Amino acid sequence: MKMCVGAVSRLVVEEAAQLGMTIVASRRQVDIGGGYIGLDQKGFTDLVHAWPNALAVRDHGGPRQGGKSDDGIESLDADVEAGFDRLHIDVCQVGNDADTLHKLVRRYASNSTCLLEIGDEHATSPDVNHKLIDTALDAAGSETIAFGVITTGSFVWADSQIGVPVPLDELYASSTIYRGDGVKTKAHNMDWLGSRKRPEYQDCIDEYNLAPEIGAVEIDALLFALPGPTVSTILHYAYTSEAWTRWFDEHEGTWLQRAKCALRYLRNNDFVKQQIDGPYTEGVDLFVRKQVRDALIVG
């Protein structure tokens, strides 16, 4: 079971790429004009492909993804032009419409060398993803459809796992169906899931994604290494930005949990960078990078 890493910051991308890992980028993180890590598609792929064996993968590409109100095609076209190695086509924001998925799969199967990943990580039933895979296979065939999202029932919310895990026999059944069609399995939302390395998962999941868990490692290391006044300033700024609201309900989380969550999205913010630049010495950088690298190696 291979770990894939979310593009939660430029530093994480650099460390993961040096390790030859697969790095997945959502449209909030990397898109036309630059995402919250400060990179557009070309900047991202140039950074990833600077190291051998590292792969650049679009995570949740498609209509209305990343808070956009578009059909996703301009963004996916830019992914292809920039040289992404794989595209996750996700049509969950349009009700998992089969016609939309079919058209997108045909477009990118015929106009690029990218392999495709298909599926909805929040599907309420494994049958949803089975139907999506069938639609994609009908549009392009198994040589192009490399991965299908497998429903595990676990989701990240407020820096923890929620949901009811899908029984292992159902995971095995789904993986048997996928692999029978020549499609590998991909699990999203495996952050903070202590059981993700169980042998049972190894047998039915080929790849899995980690994102906010690795981002939290970087932020914790940064806050530990920076001077107290700088830490107080950037945490206060992060909290008041309310960049944490999509991950916490009204009465959920402490002030610190919310501020640290928000800071993950603001690492490239001009004000935050200005506060950090002075005390961000070579020693701080080496410490933060070591914490991130160790977390990536452990998985």
Boundary-marking domain end, from 210, 231, 246? 210
Residues 142 and 237 in one domain: no
Three-state SS letters, the chain: CEEEEECCCHHHHHHHHHCCCEEEECCCCECCCCCCCCECHHHHHHHHCCCCCCEEEEEEECCCHHHCCCCCHHHHHHHHHHCCCEEEECCHHHCCCHHHHHHHHHHHHHCCCCEEEECCCCCCCHHHHHHHHHHHHHHHCCCCEEEEECCCCCEECCCCEECCCCCHHHHHHHHHHHHHCCCEEEECCCCCCHHHHCHHHHHHCCEEEECHHHHHHHHHHHHHHCCHHHHHHHHHHHHHHCCCHHHCCCCCCCHHHHHHHHHHHHCCCHHHHHHHHCCCCHHHHHHHHHHHHHHHHHC
For residue 278, the model assigns a pLDDT of 93
Residues 202 and 223 in one domain: no
Residue 284 has pLDDT above 80, yes or no: yes
Residues 139 and 274 in one domain: no
Residues 253 and 280 in one domain: yes
Residues 84 and 185 in one domain: yes
Query: Sorting pLDDT into bands at 50, 70 and 90, what band is 250?
Result: confident
Residue 259 has pLDDT above 90, yes or no: yes
Boundary-marking domain end, from 158, 185, 210? 210
Q: What is the per-residue pLDDT across 21-47, written as a single tens digit (0 to 9) for each?
A: 999 999 999 999 999 999 999 999 999
pLDDT more than 70, % of the chain: 99
Q: What is the per-residue pLDDT across 192-239, written as a single tens digit (0 to 9) for each?
A: 987 787 777 888 999 999 999 999 999 999 999 999 999 999 999 999
Residues 113 and 245 in one domain: no
Looking at residues 257-281, what average pLDDT do you find?
96
For residue 128, the model assigns a pLDDT of 94
Residues 188 and 233 in one domain: no
Residues 235 and 188 in one domain: no
In terms of residue numbers, what domain contains 282?
Answer: 214-298
Residue 18 has pLDDT above 90, yes or no: yes
CATH of the domain at 160: 3.20.20.70
Residues 149 and 237 in one domain: no
Q: Taking the model in full, what pTM does it have?
A: 0.95
- Mean pLDDT taken over the chain: 94
Residues 158 and 291 in one domain: no
Q: What is the per-residue pLDDT across 41-75, written as a single tens digit (0 to 9) for each?
A: 999 999 999 999 999 999 999 999 999 999 999 99
Boundary-marking domain end, from 210, 243, 277? 210
Residues 12 and 154 in one domain: yes
**Domains in the chain, number:** 2
Q: What is the per-residue pLDDT across 121-159, written as a single tens digit (0 to 9) for each?
A: 988 888 999 999 999 999 998 889 999 999 888 888 888
Residues 135 and 242 in one domain: no
